[in-house]
Amino acid sequence: MAPDSSLSDRLFAVDLDDDSSPLFRYTFYGTTLLILLISLFPFYYLLMLALSSPGETTSAGLLPAGFDPTSFIGAFQAVPFHLYMRNSLIIATGVTAFVLVFASLAGYTFGRMEFRGKRPLFLLLISISYFPGATFIVGLFKLLTGNVTVLGVSSPNLFNSPAAVGLPLTALSLPFAILLLTTFYSQIPDGLEDAARVTGTTRIGALYRIIAPLSAPGFVTAGILTFITAYNEFFFSQLMTTGSPQNWSPIVWGLLRYQTEVSVRYDLMAAASLIGVVPVALIVLLAQRKIVSGLTSGSIKG
């Protein structure tokens, strides 16, 4: 968001200025180098493992042991990892779309309207997000396997469909997205909407003409964070699926299959891990400003 970047630029103006002693400079750059090393070395090691020859992976270190880049192809032959990737990407996209629709409706209401019961309702929504996933699992399992009957209508059996993982992930990421969009909508100046209403625009008209076009930045931030959350999730992704790629099992199962099925092919595991990271790494590279502003605004106010 624009105000955030200018604010950070202003505040970052404390510089490593001329009065900083050599000792401070060395400590500073030493620490920075260490931080870079900690963050990036694991990926480097994965790459070295992936490039090693199949039987020699345990002697890979700073350099690959032997050289065999075919593990990036072999990984797909050993386990249909592309199918698991496809499932994860489709589920994460679907969850993001779903969450954005519901969170923007709620965020708009909480951020821009005064109504009875607003505060307790908002607190209920947010406090649910602090419940561990484990407290949902038995109820969700019952619900999604079609064992719940309300007024004679049974809930559909969604097991082995993308919704079996998608709905739990929606429930999981909805509160944070609502929090984020509530903050976002409350920052749009009232004047714009008031002006539209005074000049005769209807409520729905004001939503459509004034609020919707201004929503794009908040939408993108909430969407990115929801997508990453959904793609990265472990608990429901494992427990609500059976493990077969035909039944919409996500990458959690794909990667764990390497550990059980090709247990000594560490090169394949490393290659598959690197491939699985690509979507989220790309998002971070392209949208890190959005991620930073979203994470900080959501957590401080929460």
Site for another protein in 54-83 (CB under 8 A): 58-61
How far apart CA 190 and CA 204 sit, in angstroms, is 16
- Does 1 sit near another protein (CB under 8 A)? no
Strand 149-150 and strand 153-154: the pairing is antiparallel
DSSP strands (E only) in 134-216: 149-150, 153-154
Our CB check for another protein shows the closer of 35 and 73 to be 35
- Distance, C-alpha 207 to centroid of its chain: 28
Residues 227-266 that bind another protein (CB under 8 A): 228, 231-235, 238-239, 251-252, 255-256, 259, 266
Distance CA(184)–CA(112), nearest Å, equals 10
Q: Establish if 126 lies at the interface with another protein (CB under 8 A).
A: no
Chain-centroid distance of CA 288 in Å reads 13
Which region, judged by CB under 8 A, interacts with another protein, from 18-26, 70-78, 182-190, 212-220? 18-26
- Of 150-169, binders to another protein (CB under 8 A) are 167-168
Based on the shown chain and the rule CB under 8 A, indicate whether residue 278 belongs to the binding site for another protein.
no
**By C-beta, is 158 or 192 nearer to another protein?**
158
Residue 270 sits in the site that holds another protein (CB under 8 A): yes
Residue of 118, 154, 242, 243 that binds another protein (CB under 8 A): 118
Residue length, the chain? 302
Determine the interface stretch with another protein among 69-77, 101-109, 186-194, 241-249 (rule: CB under 8 A). 101-109
Indicate the helix (H) or strand (E) that contains 153.
Answer: strand 153-154
* 276 binds another protein per the rule CB under 8 A: yes
For residue 251, count CB atoms less than 10 angstroms from its CB and return exposed for 0-12, middle for 13-18, buried for 19 or more: buried
Size of the site for another protein (CB under 8 A): 101
